[in-house]
Structure 1
Amino acid sequence: MLTFFSRLFPAANIISTEWRALTTAVNTQIRERGDNFRCAESNPSNHSADHIAQFYSLPKNDVQTLFTHGGLPKLFKEQCKTFNETCIMIRKPAIDVINSLKIIDYNKPAYRFVLYGVMGSGRSLSLAHIIHYGHKNGFLLVHVPWVGNWMRRCRETSNAVMEEGLIDINIDAAMWLTHFKTQNEELLKDEQFKVSQDYIWNKREKTAQNASLLELIDFGINRIKYASSCIVVLAEEIKKLSKSGVCKTLVAIDGYNAFFHPKTRIFKENKEIVHPHKVTVTKAFLSLTNFDWNNAGIVVTVDALAMGEPNPKSFLPKFLLGKEGFEHLDPFIPVEVENYSEKEFISCIDYYNDRKWIQQYYPELRNELSFVSNNNPFKLQEITGPL
């Protein structure tokens, strides 16, 4: 039958043969490039501009410690499960911030960096790379995976128990305390991490002066009613510990602008919308992103999705933070996270091909994907899913 078809359509047979040969040649060329899209160095402390556009693999223990309770985008986590590895591309914004954290004078007020960019450009993964650097270099990590979850999808609200007029989100607060403890447990075992004064919660319960910071955290986790208030206390104790030289602190907050957007989905009993500044935990993280302390680095991202605006007029920090948020952070160092460069795009395609995420790779596919996705990392991830 094939012989008959080949005799009937000889030209088609030639084209088909040539196409298979060309596709094979392309795939062979990709294999011959070896693992140029991979970085053998898994410690972000050793990453430099020479590694930009390469993927590095995070050790499983580090992933469990840092991101068990959040910090990686949902679609990316699903992809990592499929690939059976957690790999992050080394990109210039993360390298720029890491290099700055290596050389800044920690005796001066806390330096503040703001990652911004169009939706899907990779701000959260750049932040994850920076967090991994902080973990490897002994920073005390204060990481909020996504502020939008607190302001728009909180699990429970109640009137604050420690300060009248505020609203507690205690279940979310207790979950964050668990996240903080998981990320820093080894560091917090040091006897120097202790509270500076007595904290009286009620007639029968208090956290005594010189109690360990872990005791304070466990109290907030086990007594959920006081979880939000524990975060406020913890924030002030962290600042004191940093100023006294006990530790260096890295504050990393994704979707930071949600702290300033007036339209939350938190309501009072009379159905009135609660402003973020009336939420107890906001007080803690606005304090931590102030410049009135030292021995710390602060890295935040701004994102329209964090405040429920999928089609913003601008993705620039001044617009997303608003006047109040901008003035709170000013002065800060803006760091734009752009769409993939050509080199990064090719590296990503090579990685997807290596992981068999792209089943059929042919010469024109790369150009088509580049055009359709506009080299946007998130769009590229979505488009290549069915391939």
Structure 2
Amino acid sequence: MSPQLTPIVDTAQDLELAERILAPGGTRVPNALLDPFVADVDAEQLRDLLRDMIVLRRIDAEGFALQRQGQLGLWAPCKGQEAAQIGTARALEPRDYVFPSYRETGVIYARGAGPHDYVRTWRGEEGAAFDPDALGVAPLQIIIGAQTLHAVGYALGILHDGADEVAVTYFGDGATSQGDVNEAMVFAASYGAPVVFVCQNNHWAISEPVAVQSQFPISGRAPGFGIPSLRVDGNDVLACMAAMRWALAHARSGKGPAYIETVTYRMGPHTTADDPTRYRGQDALEEWGRRDPIDRVDTYLRGLGERDDERAAADDAAAATAAAEMRAACLGMVTRPPLAVFDGVYAEPHTGLQRQREDYAAYLAGFADED
């Protein structure tokens, strides 16, 4: 299915072109395409999705604060993208394997990440990542778009093994301008690889607006490669879950790759090294704030009588606990001595490596002289 190829003019029109189930005001709207894929989602399950998003937003805020306090080298915020990440990730099966970019905090949360897993990479500690086998998630990818090729390679392995799995890769709108993403789609379509491409269109590739990169919806590119695509409201957690279920069913049934574009908005900076006030105004933030993914589910559930202040307080408490555990894990990490970086590189001693160790030791000693 191909999206409407209407030129992108502004954020309001852009979002209206996307499929949705929950409108920004918290009302349920009929959707013949998506409704069948979430017909089983009752109020209890929706409350769980809401709690996930609330906890994720608090984890994200804690990561931002830890970086500002010098405990992390960098942090890539995902505020505003909670529905796109939680909705799609909660649709996955445990056997599926994810290839994320650097912003998918919500995806690793949904896959069972522990307190240490959110900060180890950004703190630069030993291991530098979570356990990929435990989560079914490859390490966070900093190189823009490279993970899409890794996902397709993994999916080709699934084909070779005859396994009932799907590879899933996440990337931003800016990554769609990279050759890697387009090459990945060529390979996936050519070989019928069971892979799902998830583009989180948050409207900003660092400081470049999406309308500069693409005059038409990004999901319209996939059919050109022979890949069916679906464009959904990325701030609607039900629409995102439905879209992923559709894509997984397509890929798992042997029909090849599928593509999802979730239309959302990055409410914070690109990373903590960025100052978004230099390239975007306050009006868009206020506009997208009225489409907040958490608020719309809260409003919908309260309208059904399925949520009250007591439940909200319990969710906030769960979020505070997750943040406290994350902070304790970060502050409790013991950084290895600098020279330990050479340990375990080779099974046997290596003269070249020993020279490097000695050179680095001399370099470090130079700082001691300054004291």
Q: TM-score, normalised by structure 1?
A: 0.32
Greater length-normalized contact order (CA 8 Å, ≥ 6 residues apart): 2
Which of these two proteins has the greater Rg computed from alpha carbons?
A: 1
